Amino acid sequence: MTFLLILKVTLLFAAALAVSIVATRAAAATRHAILAGAQLAALALPLLALVVPPLAVIPAASSRTPAIIKAPAPVIETASPAAAAAVPPRSSRNALPLVWLAGCALVAVTKGIAYVRAAAIARRARGLFSDEVAQPSAFGRRILLPAAAKTWSADRVRVVLLHEEAHAARHDTVIAMIGDAACALYWFHPLAWLVARRARLERERACDDRVLAEGISATDYAAAMLDVARAMTRGHAAAMPMAERSQIEQRIRAILDPSTRRRSAHAAAALIAIILAAPLLASLNRAVPRPSAIEPDLLGDAVASPYSERIEPPAPPRSVDANGPEAAFIALLAEAAARPPRTSIDFVPERARWALSRARNGTIVAPLIESLRDSDWRVRAYAAWALGHSGDRRATGPLLLLLDEPIWRVRAMAAHALASLGDPAAERAMLDHIADDAWQVRVEVVHYLTAAGGHRAEIAAMRSDRHMAVRAAAESE
């Protein structure tokens, strides 16, 4: 359940609820159609978001946020170009999907049991009357009256049957199932429950209007409803009870109000219109800015954290010979490996220890270049990070090959290393990645071009990049 989907559902529910409240001159059937349509559209949105082509009505660059000022730091402290997309520490397994599924299952099972019990009661009933219902109810096309209704007058029975027949004719049981499914899917959303509650009220008022349209006196109908309400106990949740106590006052006021519109010529149109709004909502993938803590322009990787590229911490490094030509680099790594992490996503000590473990016979650059061909993409990313701090341009050629990696984190780390090395031999390749899908790569391209000089036009163009981090990097240079 993504942030953008929840935001769309919130707008959908809020709009339907607002219309149902302010549209006092519309018939109850129209208001119920709007609410039921919103519930159906909310159920369809997750699927439609996968199959409807995206429509970007607001350019991402227009949703500018305050620029991030990049503070200067020693090169060895730059843990990863993905650090700007860091999310708070979390366990290796995200518990939120499990919590959501548990809530869905609880609501679905609870409501499912109610429907199963109601269907069983309807099957066991013989004829119109049942000892298992406390008030007149409808389930599907089956109408049941309590056993006490055998003593009612013919007029009272006629009024009650007209109301329950209205439920059956309107297919209210099926519509109620849709509403319950929406409540199960969005159980955590208060508007889902408010819409469901309002839909129940408008559903009953729509049936009341049908009864009055048959010529029944408003006062007689109100009196019959009050009698049923006085005699009833709590009915079965899955059926359509005639008189829910929480709704009695509102319904009677509407019944006795001669100005209330009884007939609806627009209910079907309202239902169709709000359902057709669902594909439009599903297509708006960049109409609303996404949270800055995620990676909005990386399809399929929107919420990946830096932990996904982490290698298990290596054992403390053995003593590494630092007397050769690469002694300064080895000493730099050893110093970084010895210090404790400064934040939860500071992987510098771990990466430095990993790099030191690759040293052989006092050399480390060649083994790291060899690691750029490792089958594990995380190893390739670690090796690229380390080589970026080596200052050795022998790594430029192998690092350039990583710029064509399909895994954006490897490309980003390679671009970061090339920007740190500043080798003019990488200029053409870095320019080729000025429009890379990953904003982390584009940020490193800005850093490289700035250090290389002579690329004012390219850097100026990147001040209009779709991602704020790239814009900030270009504007600060």
pLDDT digits (tens, 9 = 90+) for 119-143: 999 999 888 899 888 888 899 889 9
> Quick check: is 291 in a domain?
no
253 and 373 belong to one structural domain:
no
> Quick check: is 68 in a domain?
yes
> Quick check: is 135 in a domain?
yes
Is residue 79 pLDDT above 60, yes or no?
Answer: no
Could you tell me which residue, 113 or 346, shows the higher pLDDT?
A: 113
In the sheet with 129-130, reading across from the earlier edge strand, the strands are 129-130, 142-146, 137-139
379 and 314 belong to one structural domain:
yes
**Cα(14)–Cα(74) distance, rounded to whole angstroms?**
50
CA triplet 452, 453, 454: central angle to 5 degrees?
A: 130
What's the confidence (pLDDT) of residue 303? 40
Could you tell me which residue, 17 or 297, shows the higher pLDDT?
A: 17
- CB atoms near residue 86 (< 10 Å): 17
> For the chain, how far is it from start to end, CA to CA, in angstroms?
38
For every residue of 54-123, DSSP letters joined together read: P--SS-GGGS--PPPP-----GGG---GGGGG------SS-SHHHHHHHHHHHHHHHHHHHHHHHHHHHH
Highest mean pLDDT among 26-40, 43-57, 172-186, 235-249: 172-186
233 and 315 belong to one structural domain:
no
Give the count of domains, the chain: 2
> Whole domain around residue 359: which residue ranges?
306-476
277 and 313 belong to one structural domain:
no
> Quick check: is 236 in a domain?
yes
- As a whole number, mean pLDDT of residues 67-85 equals 43
> Quick check: is 300 in a domain?
no
334 and 390 belong to one structural domain:
yes
Share of the chain above pLDDT 90, in %: 35
260 and 322 belong to one structural domain:
no
Report the CATH number at residue 451.
Answer: 1.25.10.10
Q: Residue 142 phi/psi, 5° resolution?
A: -95, 130
Taking every pair of Cα atoms in the chain, the longest distance, rounded to a whole number of angstroms, is 108
213 and 158 belong to one structural domain:
yes
330 and 266 belong to one structural domain:
no
> Quick check: is 298 in a domain?
no
274 and 351 belong to one structural domain:
no
**Cα(214)–Cα(259) distance, rounded to whole angstroms?**
17
Helical segments of 357-463, H only: 365-371, 377-388, 396-402, 408-421, 427-432, 439-452, 456-461
> Quick check: is 444 in a domain?
yes
